[in-house]
Amino acid sequence: MNKNIVAAAASLLLGAGGIALAQDASVEDSIAAYREMLADDNPAELWEIKGREFWSKKRGPKNASLEACNLGLGSGMVKGAFAQLPRYFADAGRVQDLEMRLVSCMIDLQGLSRAEAEKNHFSTDNDASDIEALVAWIASESKGAVIAVPQTHPKEKEAYAIGEKLFHFRTGPYDFACSTCHSTSGTRIRLQVLPNLTEPAEAKPIFATWPAYRVSQGTVRSMENRITDCLRQQRMPLADYGADVITDLTVYMGVQAAGGQMAAPGLKR
Ligand code: HEC
C-alpha cells in the first residue's frame, strides 16, 4: 500500500494533517518510555485475579464452574492454550477464538443461555466484564508460549483464507480495508503507530500482546474488542460479538504471527 493512499485515507478519517509518517522518533520514544514505566506494574493483573476466581465460580442452572472447559489442549488445561487459539472445535463444529470457546463452555457446562453467557462481554463504565477478566487470566497462562495458531483442520485453513481476503477487502463508504491502515510500515495516525500486520516481524509482538490493558479506557480489552473497534474505523456496521469475520481476521493475524512469544495481557494506549 502506497503511503500516500494511507495518508489520504487517514486524513479523510481525521481531517487534513491527521497522519504523520514516523519521522519524529522522539514521540515514539516517549510512548515506549511510558510503557516501560508501567510494564512492571500492569493493572491487568487485577483482571487476572478476578478471571482466575471466575473460572472456578459455580454458576448457572447446572451450578458448575468452567474448570472442565476444553480450550483446545484438553479438559481443564489452561497453560499454553491461548497461544494456539483460535482453533477448530469438533463439538462446536467451527473455529472458535477464546471468547467464543468460553461462551460455548458456559452454555454446555453451566447451562446458561447464549444471551446470558455473552452478557456484558465488553466492560462499560458501570459494569465490569467477567469475560474480559477471564480472557486476561487465560492469556496470562500462556506467557512465554510460542504462538502456533493451528492450520491442520480444513475449517482452520478456510478461516485463514477468508481472514486474509477480508484483511485486504476494501469496502464501506471510504473504501477502506484493514490493509489500508495496516500494510505499510512506519506510519501512524496522530501518535498512534499503525503496525504493518502483513509483516510477520511486526505482527508477532502485536498479536502477542492482546488482550491488553488500555490506559485510555481504563480496562482490559480483548482481540474481539480491538477488531470490533477497527471495523468501526473501517466504517463498517457494528459486528455481532463472535461474528465469523472477527474469528477469521484473528486466525489470519495469528498465523502471520506464528513463532512469536505470547506476552499478554499487554499494555496499550
Ligand atoms: C482507518 C484506519 C484503520 C483501519 C481501516 C483499521 N485499523 Fe486497526 N488500527 C487503527 C488505529 C489508529 C489503531 C491504533 C489504535 C490505538 O492505538 O488506539 C489500530 C490498531 C489495531 C490493532 C492493534 C495494534 C496494536 O498496537 O496492538 C489491530 C490488531 C488492528 N488494528 C487490526 C485491524 C483489523 C483486523 C482491521 C480490519 C478490520 C483494521 N485494524 C482496520 C486504524 C485502522
pLDDT digits (tens, 9 = 90+) for 84-110: 999 999 999 999 999 999 999 999 999
Neighbours of 179 (CB within 10 A): 19
Rg (CA), the chain: 18
Averaged over 155-182, what is the pLDDT? 95
CA of 232 to the centre of ligand 1 (A): 10
* Cell numbers found for residue 247: 474469528
Candidates 196, 154, 164, 180; CA nearest to 233 is: 180
Give me the pLDDT at residue 198, please.
92
- Among 27, 233, 246, which is best to mutate for testing ligand 1, by the most ligand atoms less than 8 A from CB? 233
Q: Is 263 in the pocket of ligand 1 (CB under 6 A)?
A: no
Q: Is 233 in the pocket of ligand 1 (CB under 6 A)?
A: yes
Q: Which of 25-39, 125-139, 234-248 shows the lowest per-residue confidence on average (mean pLDDT)?
A: 25-39
- Going by pLDDT thresholds of 50, 70 and 90, the confidence category of residue 17 is very low
Contact 179, 167 (CB under 8 A): yes
Averaged over 226-255, what is the pLDDT? 94
pLDDT of 13 over the 50 cut: no
CA dist., res. 130 & res. 102, Å (int)? 11
- Among 3, 168, 182, which is best to mutate for testing ligand 1, by the most ligand atoms less than 8 A from CB? 182
Ligand 1 atom closest to 216 (CA): 18
Which residue's CA lies nearest to atom 14 of ligand 1?
192
pLDDT of 16 over the 80 cut: no
Averaged over 17-24, what is the pLDDT? 42
* Cell numbers found for residue 173: 463508504
Contact 173, 235 (CB under 8 A): yes
Candidates 6, 97, 106; CA nearest to 55 is: 106
147, 191, 252 from 266: Cα distances, Å: 15, 18, 20
Averaged over 53-60, what is the pLDDT? 98
The whole-chain average pLDDT of the chain stands at 88
CA dist., res. 252 & res. 123, Å (int)? 26
Higher pLDDT, 221 or 20: 221
Candidates 211, 192, 88, 224; CA nearest to 143 is: 211
pLDDT of 24 over the 70 cut: no
Q: Is 195 in the pocket of ligand 1 (CB under 6 A)?
A: yes
Which residue's CA lies nearest to atom 3 of ligand 1?
181
CA of 74 to the centre of ligand 1 (A): 33
Averaged over 39-45, what is the pLDDT? 82
CA dist., res. 136 & res. 263, Å (int)? 11
Give me the pLDDT at residue 104, please.
98
Please report, to the nearest 10 degrees, the dihedral formed by the alpha carbons of residues 69, 71, 75, 76 taken in order: -70
Q: Is 227 in the pocket of ligand 1 (CB under 6 A)?
A: yes
Convert the pLDDT of each residue in 114-145 to its tens digit.
Answer: 999 999 999 888 788 999 999 999 999 999 99
Give me the pLDDT at residue 23, please.
44
CA of 223 to the centre of ligand 1 (A): 11
Q: Is 46 in the pocket of ligand 1 (CB under 6 A)?
A: no
CA of 70 to the centre of ligand 1 (A): 30
**Number of residues in the chain:** 269
Averaged over 182-211, what is the pLDDT? 87
Averaged over 216-245, what is the pLDDT? 93
Which residue's CA lies nearest to atom 16 of ligand 1?
192
Query: b/e map of 61-80 (b: 16 or more CB within 10 Å)?
Result: eeebbbeebbbbbeeeebeb
CA dist., res. 265 & res. 50, Å (int)? 14
CA of 71 to the centre of ligand 1 (A): 27
pLDDT of 18 over the 50 cut: no
pLDDT of 31 over the 70 cut: no
